[in-house]
Amino acid sequence: EPDITRYSYDVVVIGAGGAGLRAAIAAREQGKRTAVISKSLFGKAHTVMAEGGAAAALGNANADDTWTVHFRDTIRGGKFLNDPRMAELHAREAPERILELEYWGALFDRTPDGRISQRNFGGHEYPRLAHVGDRTGLEMIRTLQQRIVALQQADAAETGDPDAMLRVFAETAVTELVTDASGAVAGAFGYRRADGGFVLFEAPAVVLATGGIGKAFRTTSNSWEYTGDGHALALRAGAGLINMEFVQFHPTGMVWPPSVKGILVTESVRGDGGVLRNSEGRRFMFDYVPDVFRAQYAESEEEADGWYTDPSGHRRPPELLPRDEVARAINSEVKAGRGSPHGGVFLDVSTRMPAEEIRRRLPSMHHQFKELADVDITAEPMEVGPTCHYVMGGVRVDADTAASDVPGLFAAGEVAGGMHGSNRLGGNSLSDLLVFGRRAGLGAAAYVDGLDARAPGEVLDEAASRAVSAALALLKQGDGENPYTLHGELQDTMNDLVGIIRREGEMERALSRLDEMVQRARLLSAPGERVYNPGWHLALALPNMLLVSRAITRAALERTESRGGHTRDDHPDMSPEWRRVNLEVRVGRDGDVELSRRPVADIPAGLLSGFGNDELAKYLTKEELPQEVAAEA
C-alpha cells in the first residue's frame, strides 16, 4: 500500500484562482487553519488570464452609474434567470471589493484625475470595468497572492512558521471529496502532480473554487485545468448543480492558426472601438439587434461611432450586445458564406485608432497576434470566431454564505451557479470571484464555529484506500482505452452536437455517445509510473468531464426554449414558462444524472421598478408582472 500524506485543517479551499484565494484570505482572517490546493502552479489560474477587467459600479467614468444599474444590466444579460439575491449582493459589494484590492496594493489604470479608470464592455450601460491594460487578472492574482504572503509573514513572526495558519499546496489535484455517514463533508483526497504521491486532507469544511469545464469542448479559450473537477466532485458528494445547459461561447476567439484556435481575443477590443465585418466589408451586427435590445442600440454606423465620445447623446454600437447575441450573429454570417478565409469574421481596430494607441490599450492582444499568427493588429484586421469560454451553471449555493446543501461544502467563482442566470456579462466574473469568494470563506468559517465536535472517523481511511486502488489500477490496465483518444472524441461530440446551436436529435445522439464513452472510461489505461505521468492525470480527470458533459446535455435537451447561452434551433424563442425554471442536476443512486425543476426567486419589487414596463412584459410571466403592467399586457 503506497504512503498517503495526511493533513488536518479547519477549511480546505480547492482552487487558487481569484475565488479560492479570496476565500482562503477570508477564512484565515476568521482565525481558521486554512489550506489552499491548486492543481496548477501557484499563480497560474484562469483568473490570471482575464484581460478586460472587473465590473463594479464605482461611478468614476460616469457618475450616473450605481449598483442598481449594475444589477439591472446583470439581470438583463442573464435574461431574468439569475438568482436575484446573488445579483444584488454582487452589484452592491463589487465596488468595496475592488477598493479593498487597491488597498492591498493593486495598481489599476487611472482617470486623468487619479481615480480608478473604467472601460466599456458588452451589456454594461456605463463604462464599468476596472482594469490594468488588458492584463487585469494578472494584477488581481498578484495582489491576492501578496495578501496571502503578508498573512503568512505575520504568522511566521508570531509562531516561527509561515504555514502555521495558511498553507498553499500547489500542483496538487483533488480527485475525491469524502463525506461522513450523515452526508457532511469530512475531507478531500488527491495526488501531487509531480511525484504522484497521494494526499488526504481531514477538514469539516471545503470550499470548491475550481473554475470551469471548457476542456470538454474542442474549441475553447480555457486551459488544461478546466476539466469540471469541482462540478463533478460536488455532484458525487450529493450537491445539486443548476443552469448547466447555459455555456457561454465567447464571440471572439482566434480561428487561425490551428495550434492556437480558441484562444481569447478580449472584448475590450470592441469596448475600445473595434468593429466586426464580414467578407463583404459589411458591419453586420446592425442586422442582428434583437427586439428586446433595440431601444438601447444604435441604428447607424454614425450613431454608433458617436457613442464612444458622447455616450449620453448616442446609443451603443451593436458590437457591444451581450456575448450570446454576438456569438450567434458571427455563427450565422459564417454559415451564410460571408466568413473570413479561416472560417471566422474580421475584427478590426487598425482603421479605428492610431497604432500607438492600440499598442497602449491592447498590449497583450498586439503581442498575441504578432507572436502566434504573425498578424499586426495595428495594420490589419484579426480573424475571430466563437469559442467555448465560460459555464454559467454550477453548484447551487445559498447567496449569502455560498453554502451548498451538502453540510460543510461551499462553492464560489465559476464553479458556482445562479449568479449569471442564462448568460454572464463580461467583467462580471472577476467581481463575482471577489464578492462570493469572500462570502464563501466567511461562510465556511462560521460553519466550522458552529460544529460541536469533529470526528471524521474511519470514513477518510476507507475512502482514501478505495481511491488509491482505483488510481493505481489505471497504471496497470495496459490494454485499456487511451485517455487522449477518448478525450478527443468527447470534445468533438460536445462541440459538434451540444455546441452553440442545439437540436433535439443531435443532443440525443450526443447522449448515446456519452453513454458509450462512460463505459469505455471504466477501462482507461495510462501505463507507466506515477511520477509526472500526464496520461494518468488526464485519465483521472476524464470521468469528471464525462459526468459534466452528461449534465450539460441532459439539461440542454430538457429546456425547450432559447435563452442566453442556450440556443435551440428547434425552439428558437424564449418561453415564459421556462423563465421561472432552474433545471437542477443531481447524481442518483445508480450513478446516473437526474433532473428536477426549481423555481427562480422573485426579483424584489424595489429593484423591479428599475426596468421599463415594456421590457418587463417581454421577459416576465404574467403572474410575475407588477399589477398595472399585467393589466396592460
Residues that bind ligand FAD in the complex, under the rule CB under 6 A? 14-20, 37-40, 45-47, 49-54, 136-137, 173-174, 209-211, 221-222, 225, 229, 264, 390, 413-414, 426-430, 433
Phi, psi of 592 (to 5 degrees): -90, 160
Query: Cα 556 to the chain's mean position, in Å?
Result: 18
Q: H or E stretch including 276?
A: strand 275-277
Shortest Å distance, C-beta 123 to ligand FAD: 12
Return d(Cα 83, Cα 609) in angstroms, integer. Answer: 17
Shortest Å distance, C-beta 205 to ligand FAD: 16
Query: Using an 8 Å Cβ cutoff, are 423 and 247 in contact?
Result: no
Return d(Cα 428, Cα 268) in angstroms, integer. Answer: 14
CB-nearer residue toward ligand FAD: 331 or 429: 429
Closest CA to 79 of 423, 391, 349: 423
Shortest Å distance, C-beta 128 to ligand FAD: 11
CB-nearer residue toward ligand FAD: 341 or 363: 363
Q: Which three cell numbers stand for residue 283?
A: 458591419
Shortest Å distance, C-beta 303 to ligand FAD: 27
Shortest Å distance, C-beta 66 to ligand FAD: 20
Phi, psi of 347 (to 5 degrees): -120, 120
Amino acid at 124: H
Shortest Å distance, C-beta 413 to ligand FAD: 2
Shortest Å distance, C-beta 603 to ligand FAD: 23
Q: Region of 227 please: left (phi>0), alpha (psi -120 to 50) or beta.
A: alpha
Q: Which three cell numbers stand for residue 228?
A: 469540471
Residue 512 CB: number of other CB atoms within 10 A?
9
Q: What are the residues whose beta carbons fall under 8 Å from the beta carbon of 606, sequence distance 6 or more? A: none
CB-nearer residue toward ligand FAD: 416 or 625: 416
Task: Give bridge partners of residue 387 from the DSSP assignment.
Answer: 250
CB-nearer residue toward ligand FAD: 233 or 511: 233
CB-nearer residue toward ligand FAD: 211 or 385: 211
Task: Give bridge partners of residue 55 from the DSSP assignment.
Answer: 129
Beta strands per DSSP E along 67-165: 118-119, 129-130
Return d(Cα 7, Cα 192) in angstroms, integer. Answer: 14
CB-nearer residue toward ligand FAD: 172 or 278: 172
Shortest Å distance, C-beta 192 to ligand FAD: 11
CB-nearer residue toward ligand FAD: 510 or 542: 542
Shortest Å distance, C-beta 564 to ligand FAD: 16
Return d(Cα 188, Cα 392) in angstroms, integer. Answer: 25
CB-nearer residue toward ligand FAD: 103 or 224: 224
Which of the residues 119, 218, 270, 487 is marked catalytic? 270
**C-alpha angle 452/458/461, rounded to 5°?**
125
Q: What are the residues whose beta carbons fall under 8 Å from the beta carbon of 470, sequence distance 6 or more? A: none
Provide the pairing of β-strand 34-37 with 166-169: parallel
Based on the residue annotation, tell me whether 270 is a catalytic residue of this protein.
Answer: yes
Shortest Å distance, C-beta 285 to ligand FAD: 20
CB-nearer residue toward ligand FAD: 41 or 531: 41
Is omega for the bond preceding 354 within 30 degrees of 0, making it cis? no
Query: Using an 8 Å Cβ cutoff, are 566 and 246 in contact?
Result: yes
Residues constituting the chain? 633
Task: Give bridge partners of residue 346 from the DSSP assignment.
Answer: 277, 383
Return d(Cα 246, Cα 393) in angstroms, integer. Answer: 6
Query: Cα 331 to the chain's mean position, in Å?
Result: 22
Closest CA to 498 of 249, 199, 145: 249
Q: Which three cell numbers stand for residue 57?
A: 459600479
Query: Cα 243 to the chain's mean position, in Å?
Result: 12
Return d(Cα 468, Cα 163) in angstroms, integer. Answer: 27
Residue nearest to ligand FAD (CB): 17
Q: H or E stretch including 505?
A: helix 504-521
Shortest Å distance, C-beta 161 to ligand FAD: 23
CB-nearer residue toward ligand FAD: 60 or 562: 60
Return d(Cα 194, Cα 360) in angstroms, integer. Answer: 39
Which of the residues 250, 420, 438, 487 is marked catalytic? 250
DSSP class of residue 136 equals H
Based on the residue annotation, tell me whether 513 is a catalytic residue of this protein.
Answer: no
Return d(Cα 577, Cα 500) in angstroms, integer. Answer: 22
Q: Which residues are catalytic?
A: 250, 270
